[in-house]
Amino acid sequence: MKKRMNENMKLSEALESFVSSNKLQKGLDKVNVKDVWNDQMGPAIVKYTTAIKLEGSTLFIQLSSSVLREELSYGKEKIIKNLNEALKKELITKLVLR
């Protein structure tokens, strides 16, 4: 942890500094992706989602319904676009449905 600075700092700036200095952004991104998936896809799809995993820029989604998996595979690009917009950054480049 760095020494205390004498100048005033906004709380958001202090939190950003803490996250970057402790290399916590990847972990926060993984949590945010799960939250955004649940918000964007709705309860009907979340009900069949068994696992969500972000590795690098690839999002792995495990679904318990093969019919839903097939249906979602037709709109992968739109899903990626919607999730990235909700995350406010280009975090996901590939979506793998299992």
Write down the residue that tokens 């037709």 correspond to.
74
Domain count, the chain: 1
Write down the residue that tokens 């690098």 correspond to.
56
Q: What is the CATH number of the domain that holds 71?
A: 3.30.300
More confident residue, 29 or 84: 84
Cβ–Cβ < 8 Å for 45, 68: yes
Under the banding of pLDDT at 50, 70 and 90, the label for residue 4 is low
Tokens at 31, concatenated: 């949590």
Q: Give the global pTM.
A: 0.81
Q: Helices (DSSP H) in the chain: which residue ranges?
A: 11-21, 25-46, 66-73, 76-87
Q: What secondary structure letter does DSSP report for 7?
A: S
Which residues form the domain of 49? 25-97
Does the residue 12 lie in any domain?
Answer: no
Whole-number percent of the chain with pLDDT over 70: 94
